[in-house]
Amino acid sequence: MNLKPKARPSRSPLIALVLTLAVILSSCGATPTRVAISTTATTLPTASPSVTPSPSPTWTALPTVKAVSDSSVQATQTAAARLESTPTASSSPTSTPSATPSLTVTSSPAPSPWPTLGSSQPVTPTATGEPGPGSVVISATATITPTPTPTLTPTPMFSPTPMPTATFSGNVVHILALGLDSTHNLNAQNTDVIIVAAVNKDTKQVSLLSIPRDLWVYIPTHGWDRINTAHKTGHRYNYPGGGPALLSETIRINLGITIDHWVRIDFRGFARVVDQLGGVDMVVACPVNLRYMPPEQEGEEEMYLEPGVYHMDGDMALRYVRSRRGGTDFDRSRRQHQFLKAVWQQTKNPELLLKIPSLWSALKGSYETDLNLGDVLSLAPLALDLQPQRIRSRYISQAHTIDWETHLGAQVLLPIPEKIQAVVASLYAPSSGVSDAIAAESVGIQVRNGTYQPQLALIAADELRWNGFQVVDTGPADVPTYAETQIVVYREKAQALELLAKLLAIKPENVIYQLDDSQPADLMLILGRDYNPCR
pLDDT at 158: 53
Who wins on pLDDT, 57 or 312? Answer: 312
Residue pLDDT, tens place only, 133-173:
444 444 444 455 555 544 443 333 456 788 889 888 889 99
Cα 448 → chain centroid: 33
- Mapping DSSP to helix (H, G, I), strand (E, B) and coil, where does residue 308 land? strand
Which of 348, 396, 210, 184 is CA-nearest to residue 269? Answer: 184
pLDDT at 303: 74
Distance between terminal CA atoms of the chain?
A: 36
Lowest mean pLDDT among 2-16, 469-483, 521-535: 2-16
Distance CA 508, CA 270 (A): 45
Distance CA 53, CA 454 (A): 11
Who wins on pLDDT, 276 or 469? Answer: 469
- In the predicted structure, residue 300 carries a pLDDT above the cut 50: yes
Do strands 391-395 and 205-211 pair parallel, antiparallel, or not at all (unpaired)?
A: parallel
Distance CA 385, CA 379 (A): 10
Distance CA 514, CA 494 (A): 14
- In the predicted structure, residue 263 carries a pLDDT above the cut 50: yes
pLDDT at 326: 63
Distance CA 167, CA 153 (A): 41
- In the predicted structure, residue 56 carries a pLDDT above the cut 90: no
Residue pLDDT, tens place only, 398-430:
999 999 998 889 999 999 999 999 999 999 998
Q: Show the beta-strand stretches assigned E in 363-521.
A: 368-369, 391-395, 401-405, 411-415, 444-449, 470-476, 486-489, 511-513
Lowest mean pLDDT among 128-142, 291-305, 452-466, 508-522: 128-142
pTM above 0.85?
no
Single-letter amino acid code for the residue at 198: A
Summarize the confidence of residues 261-282 as an average pLDDT.
87
pLDDT band of 486, cuts 50, 70, 90:
very high
Distance CA 229, CA 34 (A): 30
- Max avg pLDDT among 12-16, 27-31, 485-489: 485-489
pLDDT at 71: 38
CATH number for the domain whose boundaries are 1-70+155-431:
3.40.630.190
Who wins on pLDDT, 467 or 180? Answer: 467
pLDDT band of 332, cuts 50, 70, 90:
confident
Lowest mean pLDDT among 69-78, 242-251, 424-433: 69-78
Distance CA 362, CA 472 (A): 37
pLDDT band of 181, cuts 50, 70, 90:
confident
- Max avg pLDDT among 25-29, 58-62, 116-120: 116-120
Q: Across all residues in the chain, what is the average pLDDT?
A: 74
Give the CATH class of 434-527. alpha beta
User: Where in the chain is CATH 3.40.630.190?
Assistant: 1-70+155-431
Who wins on pLDDT, 272 or 296? Answer: 272
pLDDT band of 278, cuts 50, 70, 90:
confident
pLDDT band of 295, cuts 50, 70, 90:
low
pLDDT at 32: 35
- In the predicted structure, residue 22 carries a pLDDT above the cut 60: no
User: Where in the chain is CATH 3.30.70.2390?
Assistant: 434-527
Residues whose CB falls within 8 Å of the CB of residue 149, separated by 6 or more in sequence, listed in order: 107
pLDDT at 469: 95
